[in-house]
Amino acid sequence: MNNESKSFWSFTVLGVIFGYLSFLLNNALQSSIITFILAIVFLFIFANILKRVLKVNEKMKWFMTNGGWVYLFLWFVIWVIFYNL
């Protein structure tokens, strides 16, 4: 599996997981803005972690095109689904 696929699937899984965690945090903190900010911060943190794990020297644009946008989309969809239950 190449680095693009590894990055894509890592962001996909983490988008689903963090979407549910954001729902739990939203219930605890009673603030949707804080959960959104945490999702964005976690995106940058995880991109730096992936940069070290995959041993790539790419900028944030590479991570956004190889899973970052999917992470944000899945995070939002999962968060909305649990929020509306």
- 39 in Cβ contact with 18 (< 8 Å): yes
**Rounded CA gap, 68 and 53, in Å?**
16
Question: 65: part of which helix (H) or strand (E)?
Answer: none
pTM over 0.85: yes
The pLDDT value recorded for residue 1 is 81
> Quick one: which of 4, 38, 5 has its CA closest to 19?
38
Q: pLDDT tens digits for 27-39?
A: 888 888 888 999 9
Residues in the chain: 85
Q: What are phi and psi of 55, to 5 degrees?
A: 55, 50
DSSP class of residue 39? Answer: H
Report residues of the chain scoring pLDDT below 70: none
